[in-house]
Amino acid sequence: MKKNYSILQIVGYQNSGKTTLTEKLIKLANHQGLSAATIKHHGHGGAPDLEIERKDSSRHLNAGAIVSSVEGDGVLQLRTNFINWDLKKT
């Protein structure tokens, strides 16, 4: 079965509403029965902070994204709300 995926890139100045827009789009996707995942570039130099509870990636998860990740300085943080992981060897 063929699946179609869309990629949307949101860019803008600091405090211009990118995260708020992203939250609204995630909620809209969920309302339409779609799944959303986010990748955020950590543009503050260095690797992303380990303290992530107050970060945009947490806001994305709280809005309903199944995966939210942050990349910076070659480090990728990945968090998920997806519960049914099956990592059994086949």
**pLDDT at position 53:** 56
**pLDDT at position 16:** 94
**E-assigned strand segments in the chain:** 37-41, 67-72, 75-80
What's the pLDDT tens digit per position in 2-41? 778 889 999 999 899 999 999 999 999 999 999 999 998 8
Q: Where are the domains of the chain?
A: 19-80
**pLDDT at position 56:** 80
Quote the pTM value: 0.78
Name the packing angle between helices 18-31 and 56-63 (round to 10°). 20
Percent of the chain past pLDDT 70, that is, above it, reads: 80
